[in-house]
Amino acid sequence: MSSHQQFGQITDEQWEAITHNDARFDEIFIYAVKSTGIFCRPSCKSRDPKKENVHIFNNATEAIADGFRPCKRCKPGGLRLPDEEWAFLIGEYIDEHFREPLTLEILADMCHGSPYHLQRTFKRIIGLTPVEYIQKVRITKAMYELTVTDKSVSEIGQSVGLSNLSYFITLFKMKTGQTPKQYRKTSNGGAD
């Protein structure tokens, strides 16, 4: 057996330690979460991951060697992810999950930080707040879909995570200066 277990091969005792934030296991193992790319101590107060996404390691060195980054909240192994890497990691998460409901609180919980620190750090490094970045990604995807598909405006709004049609149209116009219908018409050379 290798020095760490494979995804999904977590023991019941390890899973219980993680879900109960049991500090007694902090010096025994650390766990990484495949979907976030972050590793934590069992005592970390972050939201419980999906069990099938958990990867167990003996120490921080093993997790780093496998491509995982340390949690900002619990600082496993005394390590801390640099702010720049943290902000880019959050940006990548938004890029991949923009269709899902995303709030500052959800992102802060997912990336193991406080909403206040996330807001401040992300804005300083990326130049936009997390919410502004989410909106930018969603509107950019909507612009693309309006240009290359025949989907209705409502279907496009839903496909980019903005299921409230009037909010989608208002946000689109605020960001582009046109309604989705106007944008589709001008981007398709006047065709409707």
CA gap 78, 3 in Å, rounded:
21
The residue that leads in pLDDT, 35 or 156, is 156
Provide the CATH number for the domain formed by 83-192 in this structure.
Answer: 1.10.10.60
**According to the model, what pLDDT value does residue 2 have?**
41
Question: Taking the C-alpha atoms of 35, 36, 39 and 42 in order, what is their torsion angle to the nearest 10 degrees?
Answer: -70
Domain spans in the chain, listed from the N-terminal domain onward: 12-78, 83-192
For 12-78, which CATH class? alpha beta
Q: Give the largest Cα separation in the chain, rounded.
A: 66
**According to the model, what pLDDT value does residue 60 have?**
84
The residue that leads in pLDDT, 110 or 57, is 57
pTM: 0.63
- In this prediction, residue 79 has a pLDDT band, given cuts at 50, 70 and 90, of low
Tokens of 146: 């309006």
The string of pLDDT tens digits covering residues 5-45 is 444 478 999 999 999 988 889 888 999 998 888 898 898 88
CA gap 19, 40 in Å, rounded:
12
The residues assigned a catalytic role are 40
Alpha helices in 43-82 (DSSP H): 60-65
Q: Is the pLDDT score of 126 beyond 60?
A: yes
